[in-house]
Structures are given as structure tokens and as C-alpha cells.
Amino acid sequence: MAGDKPWWAHVVQWTLWGFVMTLVMGWLARTRRREPERVAGAVVLRAPRSVLVLGIVCTVLFVGAGVGALIAMPPDGGMALAVSIFGVFALMGAQCIADYYMDRFEVGDDALSFRTTYGGSGRTGWAEIVEVSYSQSAKWFRLRLRDGKVVRVSAMMVGLPALAERLLTRATNATIDPPTRTTLTDTAAGNPPQIWAS
């Protein structure tokens, strides 16, 4: 088609997008390496401030894009689809904001206290954790408790090495598959999982 971009323009566009995303994700990964907060002898795991910044930027950007689509596009199926897609991305940004303020874990010698956006809050002894797994796609550790409750800890958390160390040494009743054990060992040594590569 005459109005179509040349092939090289698509290559440049996607290369630029990949480069920018790599920079952003590298920045996010670096911000989780700061020294964690400590409260009453426990290490506090929280999302770094970069998650809040990313959430605000995404929410504002995609709400603005959605409003722009409402104003500029003709009212047909294309406008509704564009507004819906921008709305979904705006909600993902809002989710980052909620997670920044809600998700908090206190890693103590005897127990793990937790509060998450959707998983509620509670406190569990390390011996009450019966299964630990890591999801490469979702980028979180999944802890299943004896009562069936599941606690998910994002790989973005500051202080993750303290959690990994306690899971390896204190959660003696937990079943841990070999890939997860390797990830925990690396994390406890100060090398948390990558958040951009699969």
C-alpha cells in the first residue's frame, strides 16, 4: 500500500522499542538492589519507588491516549477497540500503584508477616510453608501454606535475598523443586531473578 511505512521503518520502530524497554527494565531491576528497611529485627520487603513512578507514568499516559482516541477517532468499532486497549494498560499502571502501597512483607527469624493487594494479610511460621515455587512468566515466588493459603512475592521486591535465605534455611517442611531451589540460592547470594528475560 502507498501509505504503508517501508520495511526498515518497522525495524527501526521495534528496535527502538526493544532498546527503551531494556533500559526501563534494567532501571527497575537496579532499584530493587538498595538496602532494605528493618523493623524490630525483621527485614521489610517492599516494591522500590521505581514501581510507583512506572505505575503513575503508565496510568497518565494511557488515560491520556484513551481520551485522545475518544476525541480524535471516528465513533466506530476502531475507536472502541483503541479506548479499550488503552484502558487495559491504564489499569495495569494503576495495579503497579496499588502494589507499591499495599504489598509488604516482614521477614523475621521465626515468621513471615505479609500484606498484599489481593491476597490479604497474615503471619505464618516458616514451618507452616509447605511448598515454594518460582514462576518465570509471572516473576514471583509462590508460597503455599499448610492451610491452603497462597502468598505471592514479586521478584521486584527490595530485600528479596533475606526471604530467599529464610526459605532455604527455615522452611524445612516446604517442598521446593530444583529450578526454584537454584533461583532461591542465587537470590540469597544477592542475584535475584531477572525481571525482563524469561
pLDDT digits (tens, 9 = 90+) for 91-133: 999 999 999 999 999 999 999 999 998 878 999 999 999 999 9
Domain limit, last residue, from 85, 102, 119: 102
* Residue 114 sits in the same domain as residue 181: yes
* Residue 30 sits in the same domain as residue 48: yes
* Residue 111 sits in the same domain as residue 168: yes
Write out the three cell numbers for 153: 512475592
* Residue 86 sits in the same domain as residue 124: no
Among the listed residues 181, 144, 174, 51, the one whose alpha carbon sits nearest the alpha carbon of residue 104: 51
- CATH code assigned at 162: 2.30.29
Q: Say yes or no to pLDDT of 64 above 90.
A: yes
Does an H or E element contain 180, and which?
Answer: helix 178-188
* Residue 97 sits in the same domain as residue 18: yes
- pLDDT class of 29 with cuts at 50, 70, 90: low
User: Do the domain assignments include residue 97?
Assistant: yes
Rounded Cα gap, residues 170 and 68, in angstroms: 53
Return the pLDDT at 173: 95
Q: At what angle do helices 178-188 and 160-169 cross, to 10 degrees?
A: 130
- pLDDT class of 1 with cuts at 50, 70, 90: very low
Q: What is the pLDDT of residues 164-195, one digit of tens each?
A: 999 999 999 999 999 999 999 999 999 999 87
pTM reported for the whole predicted model: 0.79
Rounded Cα gap, residues 14 and 78, in angstroms: 23
- pLDDT class of 3 with cuts at 50, 70, 90: low
Return the pLDDT at 168: 97
Tally of structural domains, the chain? 2
Q: Which domain holds residue 25?
A: 7-102
Domain limit, last residue, from 102, 123, 145: 102
User: Do the domain assignments include residue 30?
Assistant: yes
